[in-house]
Structure 1
Amino acid sequence: MYSRKNQRDLTRTEKKRLVDAILQLKRSGRYDEFVSLHRHYYVTDADRRPRAAHMTPSFFPWHRRYLLEFEKALQAVDAGVTVPYWDWTRDNTPAASLWAEDFLGGNGRARDRQVMTGPFAYARGDWTIRAGITEDRFLRRDLGRPSAPVTLPTKADVDRALSDPVYDTAPWNSVSTTGFRNRIEGWGIRGTRDVANHNRVHRWIGGSMAGAASPDDPVFWLHHAYIDLLWTRWQKAHPRARYLPDRSLAADDPQRGRVFALDDPMPPWDVKPSQLMDHTRLYRYV
């Protein structure tokens, strides 16, 4: 059992150990494998392929396993490292601690959005983008997108999602009009702004975080650790609620074979959502 901490509570030494482990994964080529994996499984509603990672009920369990695999890789470098979480409802400005020089570095410069500060700046020589959304080799950020301003989600936005007692609803994709999953994933749902929560954070950061290769920005992991924590909070708030769909869809359902029910093995690990409902034997949030 280990703990995942709020990034604002990390010591200077903990930050350095996390950064050093991430940089070691990058040097080994392992980090870019994680980026490529996310790109491969970023399947949209319009695709006819199975959809395990996004716009789908398995959004939460798929990313839980993905974070666990990344954490395992980090711990192979430094056994004491865990993935911290970023509560973007509180630390919601470009001046927040995670954007410091000694941690993730700051915003991109105005000319090309290239990140010039911190350990992941291209000029430092340790962070070259190889699977990004543009031909640029450098990490890009556009915090708040001043040209068309975006704000981070608020506590009220999160509370609205947490109050929904139903996990997910048909048609089990980006246009589901209710349900906790899409309220958090945030593809635009009744009673919210156009995009919400998870998606709005990706948009607020912009740059490298704005596409399928979003793990190119290490803040991805802190963002998704918080998404994982929100799933945990929803489970505690609704102890009788269950993952849906809880059984394979009917043969005439257009989503059959495309979304993953409770006991359908998810690629690439062949693990079922039912095996990822409870993390408490592995880690806790503090």
Structure 2
Amino acid sequence: MFLLSVFLLSLSTTSTTAMVFPRACVPQAHYPGTCCPSYMGSPCGSALNRGSCVPSKSSRAEPPPDITMDDRIPGFYFNVSCTCRGNFAGPDCGECKPGLEGDNCDRRSNHTRREVRRMNETERTLFLVQLQFCKELIDPNYVILRSGNRFRTGSLEFIDASYYDVWIFAMYYMSKPFVNNTRETNAVTFGAGGTGFLSTIRASVMHFERQMRRCLKDPSFTMYFYDWRDDNDCAMCRNDFFGASNDEGFLTSGCVFSTWRMCCADFDFDETYCLMSDCICERPLINRKAGEDPSIDKPYRADVDYCLSLRTIDAPPYNTLSTNCFRNCLEGNIGRTGTDGIYLNLLWHQYCGGTMSIPSIAPNDPLFILQATFLDRIFQAYIERWGITPASYPPTTMYGHRAYDCITPYYECWLNRDMFTSSINLGYGYDNF
């Protein structure tokens, strides 16, 4: 218990940029500006001693000198923000650090993520209804960014989005390549191709659960995962789960997700953010073609077992070229049959096809969050097998993926290394693997 308390106190909550944008803080006449929303009548809950509004500390490691025009670097939007005290977190210090809950954030969280097929019919119906509800309900606290030219602050536009679409935007925003001297480079993104992939997956599921809990006003909501290791096909691609597809790849009308319109999927040019129609009815539908390409087979149990057997968590050069290491194996750049081709996670996305096969828009398919949760389940199994701790974080020098870099695009500063711990310390566990 003492060690858990020490870990929770070590989690950083200093907010120095906003990647998921608080509605109370945008737009502003000039950037960077101030973001100190009111909580219970005072900025940052200061009257309740939850936090204070101060110039942002440089807790987010500074980028290399050539990455100067990317709007996701420290302090681009806000250089004065809430610094939360003790167990409190969030843009206004009105939330709790990971692993804690309750009005005073003094109670340990203890949620269990289960395999999706272990739901009974009532639970499954409720789960699908909850996803549908939060796909439609507008988030009153956060907005998303749309821009015709990400190099010009005058083109920034902040627009409404549902709770679910705010999460989708966060994944999309993270996936955009770095801007290097006014040009994008696909060599580096915040969430893939490096050690930070493991931390990003974990944080993304935690963010999804937080969005759902806020939407449903239900602090007990807990995500499920889909364990496909022993399946011969996509068992979730049925109308009683996540939808069967017609001949064109669109979800059939018997599926609750067949009417879902995608966020940030209309256009994807280098210099833009989330260009899409103002009318939701004109946005693209989800497309999926699981198993239709006979040249692509899904991954299996042996592929997962191989990744778990790799004692080295990540290896130089700490990118897509790393060999004999768990991170690059889980990500899918190497596998049990070699280093040529795609494996595990990347292979699953290609096997599902359609929306799932396009990284920037894949989170629009509800299969994505199931997959992300399963990847975190595998990561947790690896942590338990090899005794991984924050001190195990590899010495990568890749910006955005370093141990003390904050995980983009989340408002709070969750350090990459903080995710290298048992999920119990973060407030959740898993049923049998």
Q: What TM-score bracket applies, with the shorter chain setting the length?
A: 0.7 to 0.9
How far did residue 237 of structure 1 move?
1.6
1:232 aligned counterpart, secondary structure: helix
Match of 1:121 in 2: 258
User: Aligned runs of 1:114-263 on 2, under 5 Å?
Assistant: 114-116=250-252, 117-122=254-259, 127-132=260-265, 137-146=284-293, 148-188=294-334, 191-192=337-338, 194-211=341-358, 212-239=360-387, 243-246=392-395, 249=397, 255=398, 258-263=399-404
Point out where structure 2 has 5 or more consecutive residues left out of the alignment: 1-109, 138-161, 179-183, 268-281
How far did residue 115 of structure 1 move?
0.7
Residues 208 and 60 of structure 1: CA distance in aligned 2, closer, same or farther (over 3 Å): same
Q: Is 2:125 the partner of 1:23?
A: no
How far did residue 49 of structure 1 move?
8.1
Match of 2:424 in 1: 280
How far did residue 262 of structure 1 move?
2.0
CA RMSD of aligned residues (A): 2.4
The two structures have a TM-score, normalised by structure 2, of 0.58
1:93 aligned counterpart, secondary structure: coil
How far did residue 67 of structure 1 move?
0.7
* Match 2:121 to one of 12, 21, 38: 12
Residues 49 and 55 of structure 1: CA distance in aligned 2, closer, same or farther (over 3 Å): closer
Q: Identity across aligned pairs (percent)?
A: 22
C-alpha distance in 2, partners of 1:87/1:198?
A: 12
1:121 aligned counterpart, secondary structure: helix
Runs of 4+ off more than 6 Å: 133-136
User: Do the aligned residues in 1 keep the contact of 2:165 with 2:263 (CA within 8 Å)?
Assistant: yes
Q: Which of the pair is proportionally richer in helix?
A: 1
User: Aligned runs of 1:57-68 on 2, under 5 Å?
Assistant: 57-68=195-206
User: Do the aligned residues in 1 keep the contact of 2:314 with 2:327 (CA within 8 Å)?
Assistant: yes
For 2:229, the aligned partner's letter is T
Larger RCO, structure (CA 8 Å, separation 6 or more): 1
C-alpha distance in 1, partners of 2:176/2:320?
A: 11
Q: Is 2:398 the partner of 1:268?
A: no
How far did residue 7 of structure 1 move?
0.8
User: Do the aligned residues in 1 keep the contact of 2:349 with 2:357 (CA within 8 Å)?
Assistant: yes
Please identify the structure whose Cα radius of gyration is greater.
2
The two structures have a TM-score, normalised by structure 1, of 0.85
Match of 1:102 in 2: 240
User: Do the aligned residues in 2 keep the contact of 1:132 with 1:208 (CA within 8 Å)?
Assistant: no
* Match 1:34 to one of 167, 171, 177: 167
Point out where structure 1 has 5 or more consecutive residues left out of the alignment: 250-254
How many residues were matched structurally?
Answer: 269
For 2:169, the aligned partner's letter is S
For 2:367, the aligned partner's letter is V
